[in-house]
């Protein structure tokens, strides 16, 4: 039998995958890899893969990936998204790298790429988080253009529609036979997708992890309301020794359990990404109760250092995009707990 010193020596040579029936080659680590929330993740992954596939850094990949979604006018991320109840689009985003550097912006108006401002906060200030007019001032000083504060045509229409009743509650709707919440994707009248958040986590060819998360938050929210997405540990968490996780759905419930941090810590305890995401979803249901959990949607996705990936959600309807090769960028339906 191998003594411990010899075993450690073999490990340092990358030959640590040992079984008592003999040696076998070390398991392949699937890298690079990138995953992201909802159907829009396919396009975001493609942009991320442009970086990862050329040996680029995960941090650049997760920024450039979600910028595609921020720029698109057909989902609830970026300036084309639904406004708050007072008619203003306010954006939240955060980013985290392999060194536990992180940056975040929240309640940011009239800036097209909040994820890039979050990265500047991380790289150019001694702080983690800037909000509201201060975040906007910083963005402008950094050269980000101040966009006209006009709603997109779709958002204008949705807002006018919402104003008729001005209901302020999560609305569980039925879409294509699937039960979804107002914060989960639903096909709009114009055929576009209604998303709440894109979260993305990636591992590059060097084995380093990063993540990003960006959103306009809950449609028709109270002015000033923040969800989980700009909060490190809630909407996103990266630990380069273990893995990375991000969240989508009703942010208040993700914040209550420090969701993404919880998923990473569960992976540290030995769970694979899917098991860890499932446990975090179960924690939300335990805290909230089954009846109230049926009124909301939350989904988590995660990767670990082995390049394994997984996701889980409260109820049917959540999916995520997975990419690990030029010809491997596909959707996975999130497993769910409540039906």
- Contact pattern from residue 271 through residue 310 relative to ligand GLY, giving x for each residue in contact according to CB under 6 A and a dash for the rest: ----------------------------------------
315 binds ligand GLY (CB under 6 A): no
d(CA 207, CA 333): 26
Please state the closest distance from residue 238 (CB atom) to ligand GLY, in A.
18
d(CA 279, CA 268): 13
249 binds ligand GLY (CB under 6 A): yes
Q: How far is CA 120 from the centre of its chain?
A: 19
Residue from 116, 181, 229, 319 binding ligand GLY (CB under 6 A): 229
228 binds ligand GLY (CB under 6 A): yes
69 binds ligand GLY (CB under 6 A): no
Residue whose C-alpha is closest to residue 202's, from 72, 113, 323: 323
Window contacting ligand GLY (CB under 6 A); options: 135-143, 144-152, 225-233, 283-291: 225-233
248 binds ligand GLY (CB under 6 A): yes
Please state the closest distance from residue 229 (CB atom) to ligand GLY, in A.
5
Active-site annotation holder among 197, 214, 215, 248? 197
Window contacting ligand GLY (CB under 6 A); options: 32-40, 134-142, 227-235, 277-285: 227-235
Torsion on CA atoms 50, 239, 318, 322, rounded to nearest 10:
30
Of all residues in the shown chain, the one whose CB is closest to ligand GLY is 227
Contact 151, 159 (CB under 8 A): yes
Task: Tell me whether residue 116 or residue 250 sits nearer to ligand GLY (CB atom).
Answer: 250
Residues between 159 and 218 that touch ligand GLY (CB under 6 A): 196-197, 215, 217-218
Contact 302, 311 (CB under 8 A): yes
Q: How many CB atoms lie within 10 A of CB 123?
A: 12
Q: Is 197 annotated as catalytic? A: yes
Interacting residues of 81 by C-beta distance below 8 A, sequence separation 6+: 75, 89, 91, 152, 155, 215, 216, 219
Task: Tell me whether residue 227 or residue 273 sits nearer to ligand GLY (CB atom).
Answer: 227
Contact 329, 34 (CB under 8 A): no
Please state the closest distance from residue 40 (CB atom) to ligand GLY, in A.
14
Six token digits for residue 180: 């979804």
The beta-strand segments (E) located in the chain are 18-19, 22-23, 33-37, 91-96, 102-108, 129-131, 172-175, 178-181, 186-187, 193-194, 197-203, 209-215, 236-239, 243-249, 298-304, 309-315, 319-325, 328-333, 335-338
Please state the closest distance from residue 131 (CB atom) to ligand GLY, in A.
14
Please state the closest distance from residue 104 (CB atom) to ligand GLY, in A.
13
Residues between 107 and 166 that touch ligand GLY (CB under 6 A): none
By annotation, the residues acting in catalysis are: 197
Binding site for ligand GLY (CB under 6 A): 196-197, 215, 217-218, 227-229, 248-251
């Amino acid at each position: 039998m191998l003594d411990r010193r010899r075993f450690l020596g073999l490990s340092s040579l990358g030959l640590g995958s040992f079984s008592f029936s003999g040696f076998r080659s070390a398991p392949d680590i699937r890298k690079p890899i990138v995953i992201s929330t909802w159907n829009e993740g396919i396009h975001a992954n493609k942009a991320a893969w442009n970086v990862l596939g050329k040996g680029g850094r995960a941090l650049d990949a997760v920024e450039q990936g979600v910028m595609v979604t921020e720029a698109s006018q057909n989902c609830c991320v970026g300036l084309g998204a639904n406004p708050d109840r007072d008619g203003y689009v306010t954006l939240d985003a955060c980013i985290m790298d392999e060194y536990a550097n992180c940056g975040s912006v929240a309640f940011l108006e009239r800036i097209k790429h909040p994820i890039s401002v979050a990265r500047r906060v991380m790289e150019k200030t001694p702080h983690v988080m800037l909000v509201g007019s201060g975040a906007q001032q910083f963005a402008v000083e950094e050269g980000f253009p101040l966009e006209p504060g006009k709603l997109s045509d779709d958002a204008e229409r949705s807002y006018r529609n919402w104003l008729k009743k001005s209901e302020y509650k999560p609305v569980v709707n039925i879409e294509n036979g699937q039960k979804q919440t107002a914060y989960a994707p639903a096909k709009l009248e114009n055929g576009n997708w209604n998303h709440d958040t894109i979260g993305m986590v990636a591992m590059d060819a060097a084995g380093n992890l990063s993540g990003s998360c960006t959103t306009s938050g809950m449609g028709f929210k109270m002015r000033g309301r923040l969800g989980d997405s700009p909060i490190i540990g809630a909407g996103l968490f990266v630990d380069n020794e273990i893995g990375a996780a991000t969240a989508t759905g009703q942010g208040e419930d993700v914040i209550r359990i420090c969701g993404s941090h919880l998923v990473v810590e569960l992976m540290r305890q030995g769970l694979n990404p899917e098991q860890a995401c499932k446990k975090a979803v179960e924690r939300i249901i335990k805290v909230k109760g089954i009846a109230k959990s049926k009124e909301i949607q939350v989904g988590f996705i995660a990767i670990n250092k082995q390049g394994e990936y997984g996701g889980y959600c409260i109820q049917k309807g959540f999916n995520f995009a997975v990419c690990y090769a030029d010809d491997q960028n596909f959707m996975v339906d999130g497993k769910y707990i409540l039906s």
